[in-house]
Amino acid sequence: MPKIIETIDQVRELVRGAKAKGLTVGLVPTMGYLHEGHMTLVKRSRLQCDLTIVSIFVNPTQFGEGEDFDRYPRDMESDSELCQREGADAIFVPSASEIYGEGFQTVVRVEELSLPLCGAHRPGHFDGVATVVLKLLNIVQPDAAFFGEKDFQQLQVIRRMVRDLDVAVEIVPVPIVREPDGLAMSSRNSYLTGEERSRALALSRSLVAVQERVNRGVSDGGELVELVRGIISQAGIEVEYVELRDPETLAEVTKIEGPTLLALAARVGKTRLIDNRVIEAA
């Protein structure tokens, strides 16, 4: 069973010991309720690093008013079993008071990359993400940290923060993991009823449809966005946004002329889901 660590001092002691032996350290930051998507991050860390630490922390500062912080799924027993199965060495499970001590008042903001997409609909979300990730990187001081591409904007925000603040860590992106029917794996999928889950397949189906349309020579961004909106709406899903963006800068794209991020967010019942695909030009 991986070692369960609850304090900053304990995890720093573990890392100091490992680095004194010349070992490399990998960090997999999560909010828990782990699934096979998270396990691909653990596998990549184990391939690349000698010691793998999984952090589990449902970060209150990245949830806005009325969001699902209180009901966000938690299952430490299952999380521990999955980490053990994949060979994680330690699980860092800090409390909110451990991460945000008394009088905490510092916020990290990545200005431009935080504004579009989810940032436009969840004000302050990426401030919370950037702040807690920087804290975790400072606490653990890993050689590499592993993030899934499903949260594509989050990945770009973290990459920018690490570059801008000269954090000595390699940020390793890991492709989206999908269920056999195409649904992107997410802890929030547990909220879905059977009927809602079936309807949610329209999200990934719309992404495939866009690539197929581009392969046939369509490059107009407006037409492609409307295609996605139509497929999702026909499934009875409330569209929050569908946008084409540059994969690096997240600048808006109106025509497919090279690799282009197609990102979407939608509500299936009460559950907010996100998905994306990098569309390749024909």
> Which residues, 6+ apart, have CB-to-CB distance to 13 below 8 Å?
none
Q: Is beta strand 260-268 parallel, antiparallel or unpaired with respect to 238-245? A: antiparallel
**3-state SS assignment for residue 125:** helix
Report the catalytic residues: 38
**Among 236, 250, 239, 242, which residue's Cα sits nearest to residue 223?**
242
Give kind and range of the element (H or E) at residue 27: strand 25-30
Rounded to the nearest 5 percent, the helix, strand and coil shares of the chain are 45, 20, 35
- Cβ burial, residue 116 (10 Å; 0-12/13-18/19+): middle
- Helices 152-164 and 125-140: crossing angle, nearest 10°? 60
